Structure 1
Amino acid sequence: MYAASYAQLLRETPSYGWTGVAGRFEMARWADAKAREIARLETIYRGMLADTGVELVDGCARLRVPGEVEVAGRVLRCERVLVATGGSPVRDALPGLDLAMTSNEVLDLRDVPSTLLVIGGGYIAVEFASILAGRTSC
Structure 2
Amino acid sequence: MKKYLIIILAITVYACDFSKRIDTTAAVKEMRERQVKRVLPQDIVNQVDVWGQELQARLAKGQVADSLSSKNKVRIQSGSIEMLKKSVKDAKINEMLDAIAFGLIQKQDIPASIQKNSSGDSLYYIYPTNNGNVTLIGFSKKQVIIQMDKPLIK
Q: Under a length normalisation based on structure 1, what TM-score does the superposition of the two structures give? A: 0.28
Which protein is bigger by CA-based radius of gyration? 2
- Structure scoring higher RCO (CA < 8 A, sep ≥ 6) equals 1
Q: Which has the higher strand share?
A: 2
Q: Which has the higher helix share?
A: 2
